[in-house]
Amino acid sequence: MLKAGALQALGAMSGTSLDGVDAAVLETDGISIFGFGPSAYRPYSKAEQAILRAALGAWPGDEGVAQAAQVIEAAHLQVLQGFEGIDLVGFHGQTLAHDPANRRTHQLGDGAALAQGLGLPVVWDFRSSDVALGGQGAPLAPFFHFACAQWIGAKAPVAFLNLGGVGNLTWVNPASPAPEAQGALLAFDTGPANAPINDWLMRCAGRPYDKDGALAAQGRVADGLLERFLAEPYFQQPPPKSLDRDSFATAAAWVQGLSPMDGAATLTAMAAAGVMQAMAHCPEPPAEVLVTGGGRHNPVMMGMLQAGLDCPVRPVEAVGLDGDMLEAQAFAYLAVRVARGLPTSCATTTGVGAAVGGGVLSYPA
């Protein structure tokens, strides 16, 4: 059984960019943040990335899933075994497919097996309950963002923007008593972020991503493509709403024939434009936008956002948070909430009918 009070929770996240596993320790009781602990990163090899990429879009039992599961579970076990003094693990797994319209989602990885391998209780399968009850199953970090807003002492509404493979935005009212309270949160996916850029550059230039936005900085946004992108029905759809990693895979076809530089510039502009469109849905303008995820390292993307938004846009490091580990910390936080029977999503974060706690808690034998 887990002890009462604050726990040393270890969260792990393998994102849609397929770069590797982030792991981070958080001290929390599932409501407040008491401290941030050590973190680690375990990159995937090129061979592992190829296996995972081949399994994208697959459902349980499909070809390639078993092999991808071996990669995910071995990589997580390797990095998570390097921590000591842990009470509980939050294991997100690897999203291969996400189809909330048909009430299904697929995060690869067996948390029960991981619990056996680590000898620790593991919370996993965070999204299925939300999706089964009609929610989008994403984004799930907003409840943690609410705790972060409290931790940084925010007095006015603030937005957390995660620029990973997909972009997602959390608007937080820090004056609310709890994340599930009415008016506390609004969260949704803004559109594609790094995934189309990474996929495009791997295909046309053999590069896994646009380091420091160097290629986009040399390129030009193609005429007409930004307007075509923003005409997609997703941007007129009210939140909550979420995307699969490959929901905008057609964007790669739109930039076909462009140079690597122009393609990178155009896809980067699309990611920024999706965020600008998203801001119109916020209940009131945020005092600032705090950016996490790999996109905050892209000065071209950050510059586009700052030019297009009416408030400061800063990396989360500006307020003492770790943008590389925020999602891993989020699943440490959510793991404790699951273990304590607290909700992890609500109507204004995933569209689920009522505040619900997702996740499965597995103990080692």
Q: State the Cα angle at 219 between 216 and 225, rounded to 5°.
A: 95
Of 156, 133, 152, 136, nearest in space to 144 by CA:
152
Stretches in the chain below the pLDDT threshold 70: none
Q: Does the residue 1 lie in any domain? A: no
Q: Does the residue 132 lie in any domain? A: yes
Both 120 and 190 in a single domain?
A: no
Residues 6+ apart with CB under 8 A from 28: 6, 7, 9, 34, 147, 332, 333, 336
Q: What is the pLDDT of residue 182?
A: 95
Both 53 and 22 in a single domain?
A: yes
Task: Give the chain's domain count.
Answer: 2
Q: What is the pLDDT of residue 245?
A: 77
Both 34 and 179 in a single domain?
A: no
Both 120 and 259 in a single domain?
A: no
Q: What is the pLDDT of residue 243?
A: 83
Domain that holds residue 227: 153-319
- The CATH number covering residue 165 comes to 3.30.420.40
Q: What is the pLDDT of residue 299?
A: 98
Convert the pLDDT of each residue in 235-267 to its tens digit: 999 998 888 777 888 887 899 999 999 999 999
The CB-side HSE value for 349 (13 A sphere, CA atoms) comes to: 30
Both 315 and 336 in a single domain?
A: no
Q: What is the pLDDT of residue 174?
A: 97
Distances (CA, A) of 223 to 172, 255, 258, 265, 302: 36, 11, 11, 12, 21
Q: Does the residue 348 lie in any domain? A: no
Both 174 and 218 in a single domain?
A: yes
Q: Does the residue 16 lie in any domain? A: yes
Both 128 and 175 in a single domain?
A: no
**Single pTM value for the model:** 0.94
360-362 vs 122-124, strand pairing mode: antiparallel
Q: Does the residue 182 lie in any domain? A: yes
DSSP reduced 3-state for 216: helix
Both 229 and 305 in a single domain?
A: yes
Both 214 and 310 in a single domain?
A: yes
Both 193 and 132 in a single domain?
A: no
